[in-house]
Amino acid sequence: MSPEEWTYLVVLLISIPIGFLFKKAGPGLKRWGAAAVGLGLTLFTCGPHTLHSLVTILGTWALIQAQPCSCHALALAWTFSYLLFFRALSLLGLPTPTPFTNAVQLLLTLKLVSLASEVQDLHLAQRKEMASGFSKGPSLGLLPDVPSLMETLSYSYCYVGIMTGPFFRYRTYLDWLEQPFPGAVPSLRPLLRRAWPAPLFGLLFLLSSHLFPLEAVREDAFYARPLPARLFYMVPVFFAFRMRFYVAWIAAECGCIAAGFGAYPVAAKARAGGGPTLQCPPPSSPEKAASLEYDYETIRNIDCYGTDFCVRVRDGMRYWNMTVQWWLAQYIYKSAPARSYVLRSAWTMLLSAYWHGLHPGYYLSFLTIPLCLAAEGRLESALRGRLSPGGQKAWDWVHWFLKMRAYDYMCMGFVLLSLGDTLRYWASVYFCVHVLAAVALGLGLALGGGGPSRRKTAPPAASLAPEKLREE
């Protein structure tokens, strides 16, 4: 592990006991205490580069104040433009930010765009009320009022997920501050239930990254190995990549759970990133609060079993970095300048690559996903529905195997980063996933298969893992 990875791990682990301290605190202490801890962590890890996050916050707040009815698009343009400037600092002869500054800036971009969207929704709802002449009751997920500058700063610098996620909306943050009877919200048992696989994943990460180091792929000697060895190597590289993020995101979720952050009654049917989808009245007494069943789906960032055992490429994206996937679906996919599912996905993947950085490997990897989506959608639509139940089961196993190899292949671009290293590795395995996806797409088109959004066949099993195992 690099020094940066050790720092991330320490920050994540420290967040857990801090969460227990804040859980039962009042709204004021939660707001300003959490912001003070987050700002302290930012200053400690980023130093003077903390100025970048402050400029981004002030710019977004100014846009919200100036144009509340159209601030979402303006905030998106502002924060994404600042990301370009932020990443071009070295080219401009300015000090290069630390990796921690980049992490803070990434999460802050998501939060500020979401905040602007929530403020815009509030203003549009207020205008509708004024036009209709009567006031409606509180709407699900709507803010009570426009946050002040200090409230915006407290949300932006809240220590929860400040470097690793999960992403959360301002409405989720407010619900935590105003949580009725927080002592009745369970924390310890959900935390232990969520944390138990993390040590195993950590050991598997250390073992796989030691036995199959990524740096070997950059050496000339690697390309003297036989083709099967080169093909196999991407499997443990992606395995180590998954284990690393599983540990980080589970630890980040545990920090939230310790603070009771993102806890909602199960009846609210909360979604990762978005929060409750059903109105659920707050409990009126500690006894009623204690009688409710709660979950932490709002801050759930990874479904490890779903990621490993889901059948389709399409589903694999939904189980990975789940709160960010919700953000991309809500603010990028829905407003994409296309109607086709594949083209909308391509637009979303392009902006996702840009959000991650300017390295060519990000773009090569993310823009391979739409080809895989089109191929699996067309071929599945054309063939799977014609098979017997046993044939469909065999199809799902083959589909799952190919899905995992596609993600192995795309992961190489994500970790190698440079254009030369990525293309050199892909060329050494004869661009096998690109070729296979193109052949599958052509076959699906020839057989008359529909696109992914128009699939007529019965949907495949969401996962090959037993349902009981996935729940645990």
* Within a domain: 11: yes
pLDDT of residue 25: 93
Q: Residue 85's domain spans which residues?
A: 3-130+143-178
pLDDT of residue 396: 95
* Within a domain: 271: no
* Within a domain: 238: no
* Within a domain: 452: no
Residue of 394, 428, 407, 326 whose CA lies nearest to 365: 407
* Within a domain: 155: yes
pLDDT of residue 464: 66
Q: Which residue has the tokens 């303006």?
A: 74
* Within a domain: 468: no
Say how far apart CA 259 and CA 175 lie, in whole Å. 12
pLDDT of residue 280: 86
* Within a domain: 226: no
Q: In whole angstroms, how large is the CA radius of gyration of the chain?
A: 23
* Within a domain: 294: no
pLDDT of residue 465: 53
Say how far apart CA 268 and CA 282 lie, in whole Å. 11
Say how far apart CA 209 and CA 415 lie, in whole Å. 13
Domain count, the chain: 2
pLDDT of residue 469: 42
pLDDT of residue 220: 95
Same structural domain, 17 and 165: yes
- Mean pLDDT by runs of 10 across the 472 residues of the chain is 86 94 94 96 95 97 93 96 92 88 96 96 86 67 92 97 94 95 94 96 96 96 96 97 96 96 94 93 88 94 95 94 96 90 93 95 96 94 90 95 97 96 97 96 86 49 50 40
Same structural domain, 17 and 151: yes
**What tokens appear for 458 in the block?**
């019965």
pLDDT of residue 135: 59
